[in-house]
A = this chain, B = another copy of it.
Amino acid sequence: MNSLKEPNGGGDNNSSNSTIDETTPKFQLKSTLKDLEKATGVSKSTISRVFNEPDKVKTSTLQLVKRKAKEIGYIPSRVARRLQGGIGNAKVIGLIIPDILNPFFAEIVRGVEDIAMDKGYSLILNNSDENVERQRLCLDTLRMEGVDGIILPPAEGEDEYVKELVEGGLNIVFIDRKMYNLSVDSILSDNEKGAYIAVSHLIKLGHKRIAYISGIPSISTTQERLRGYKKAFKEHGIDLDISLIVMGDSKQKSGEELTTELLEMPEPPTAIFTGNNMITLGAYMAFNRLGVKVPEEVALVGYDDVPWADALNPRPTVIDQSTYEIGRRAAETLISRIQNPESSPVTTMINPKLIVRESCGAKEI
């Protein structure tokens, strides 16, 4: 009664107002908008509205379309949709991390993914292996994928390409590390402060010879932590023995090796501050192999909480960065930038906090 094309339940509607094949579409995985149009008699425009602006559609039409969609197995193609609109319509974001095997990044991924899924975004993941060349490849792939934006702890040093992309208007959120001279949304941890707290804690426990095993020298976090380390010495009026500062590559292997070296010095440190979680784990390996008693023979405070810290003996005292939170914030920040491209870049600083366990030798708290 409403319109000419009102679909009529079960009737044998073989009127020939077109040359369209009248067979009702059946259930199949790759049902398309055209199939649904055929199955319902409702136009593509309206069907599109059903899935995107449902309140603009009459209830009965809405229900018909939804029912039939289920029947024939129709699911809108995000790919086709993505081809349309400019940025913001793609509903997909990219995340490039150095290595998912590092639990620090695994936590970030989880944070990002939770928010992305929640907001209806798909997540494309790439591992860059801390390699600028590979990072560029990932970046290009993500561009080809037409992502709405990218989350990225920038690989070491200054990458001109990243800069170019940012300046070209690609939505990028930096996490964990800075890239200087770039005004970009960033989620960072206050590394200087974290290191300062860690080292001060050891100083208060009476240590003066505190080694620092750093990660890759060229990334910003390493440098900031070194700054915090030095600051703690300065403020407490203790002389720094720079032979106690050793640099590695942020991996457990170098953590183990450097710890061993430190312990075999003629005058070894009485405490070690490890620059990240992998290095901390490496230090434990060295302790185990050498049979060194912690904290009796050497105390330890690590940067980054270690997952399953309670499985280690002694349990490590660490600076916790709220890694999962960094991931969540990054995704939230990216998505709000996508929705509001003109807003000015925001830097979110997350406060690190000390978690005192046994490896530092503190008596209480």
Contact = CB atoms under 8 A, between A and B. Distances in A.
Given A125-B109, A313-B313, A75 B165 contact: no
Of A78, A99, A107, A311, which is in contact with the most chain B CB atoms at under 10 Å from its CB?
A311
Nearest to A252: B308
A365 interface: no
A281 B144 contact: no
Contact of A103 (B82, B106, B125): B106
Interface string A75-105: 1111110110000001010000001110100
Contacts of A138: 117
A113 B98 CA distance: 12
A141 B127 CA distance: 22
Contacts of A311: 252, 281-282, 284-285, 288, 312
A118 to B, nearest CB: 11
Copies in the complex: 2
B127 A110 contact: yes
Nearest to A123: B125
A113 B101 contact: no
A77 to B, nearest CB: 6
A169 interface: yes
A310 interface: yes
Query: Which 7 pairs from chain A and chain B are nearest by CB?
Result: A284-B311, A29-B168, A78-B144, A285-B310, A281-B311, A79-B146, A281-B308
